[in-house]
Amino acid sequence: MSRSYSETTTIKCPGCRQKMSVEIWRIVDTQERPDLLDRIRKKEIHAVVCGNCGHKGRINAPLLINVPEREELFFVRAEKTSEKENRNTRDLLVKKLAASFEELPEYLDTVEILHRDELPEVFRKSDERPVQKRVSSSGENGGSGASESEMMQLLAELSQEEHELLAEMMQRISSPEEFMLALDQHPKLRLAIERLAGDSEGDADIAEELHPILSEIEQLTQISDMPQRVKLYRQALLLADRRQNPELWAALSGELGDSLQQNPLGERADNIEEAIRC
């Protein structure tokens, strides 16, 4: 049974508007399909070229990469997609890959989350890359240190949704500094951790009115929700103190920009222009 898996679908070329059939890879086993590894290194695994007009583009799709020779498993997230959607897709692909094994390898319990831009570094031909800490499905971190231990203790006190989001984030980090930078992209989770850690100084810098706004934003994950997300992020920016908490202000501004680019309302050019200014 093949471990690599692809789907064929029909799309319309944005250049000539003609329909064309494309193959979208969902799972790649590098030992089984070494021919696809070079495309992964070049970030071309989801590249498409129109046979009619020659227009070049890329399909925004998630990808699970199995590297049996290194006993590693990677998941490349789809862009402009919620954490929950990516998490669900990852779990489905891992289950499909697992079904292709007669005897399940232990390393399949550990998935390293990647961004598409990290592919050339992770899969460079020398196979030499910096060691990255990963988190297994049981929540055990491959590294050590008091700060990481404290992070894991917090997991038990978070809500199920916050627990899953934090665990997924920790799969991508290799230091406390990276953790704090990643946390800035999830204001609600940051507030929860600061609250549990008793960080009174951090809470003092954040307006109390932000809590319900950020809680509501976390529930808005669909494209149809983007207008409301834009509205709420604008409200949050008015309440956030840029001088006292520049990291939070920058994170909110970045999220507003992302929401504007996905906003189905208004002129797209105007939304993109405003997003660039955020």
Any domain includes 153? no
Q: Is 208 in the same domain as 123?
A: no
Q: Are residues 26 and 119 in the same domain?
A: yes
Classify residue 183: in a domain, yes or no. Answer: no
Instruction: Of 27-41, 128-142, 149-163, 218-232, give the range with the top mean pLDDT.
Output: 27-41
Q: Does a structural domain hold residue 187? A: no
Confidence (pLDDT) at 105? 92
Same domain, 124 and 12: yes
Can you give the pTM of this predicted structure? 0.49
Last residue of a domain, one of 104, 129, 154: 129
Residue with tokens 């499909």: 96
- Both 102 and 216 in one domain: the answer is no
Domain that holds residue 252: 202-278
What pLDDT band is residue 66 in, cutting at 50, 70 and 90? very high
Asked if residue 177 is part of any domain, the answer here is: no
> 95 and 12 share a domain?
yes
Q: What is the predicted pLDDT for the residue at 182?
A: 67
Determine the Cα–Cα distance for residues 273 and 126; give it in Å rounded to an integer.
41
Say whether both 110 and 210 belong to one domain: no
Instruction: Indicate whether 108 belongs to any domain.
Output: yes
Q: Does 17 lie in the same domain as 121?
A: yes
The answer as to whether 241 is a domain residue is yes
Identify whether residues 19 and 125 lie together within a single domain.
yes
* pLDDT top residue among 72 and 257: 72
What number is the average pLDDT over the span 44-56? 92
State the total domains in the chain: 2
Q: Are residues 123 and 207 in the same domain?
A: no
| 217 and 97 together in one domain | no
Please check whether residues 11 and 124 belong to one and the same domain. Answer: yes
119 and 238 in a common domain: no
- CA separation, residue 141 to residues 52, 86, 110, 250 (Å): 50, 21, 10, 29
Residue finishing a domain among 111, 129, 147: 129
**Highest mean pLDDT: which of 11-20, 127-136, 197-206, 240-249?**
11-20
Show which of 129, 146, 173 is a domain's final residue.
129
Q: How far apart are CA 257 and CA 277, in angstroms?
A: 8
Q: Annotate 130-189 with three-state secondary structure.
A: CCCCCEECCCCECCCCHHHHHHHHHHCCCCHHHHHHHHHHHCCCCCHHHHHHHHCCCHHH
Whether 182 maps to a domain, the answer reads no
48 assigned to some structural domain:
yes
Q: Which segment of 75-89, 104-118, 264-278 scores lowest on mean pLDDT? A: 264-278
Give the residue from 121, 123, 116, 122 showing the smallest Cα distance to 58.
116
d(CA 11, CA 21): 6
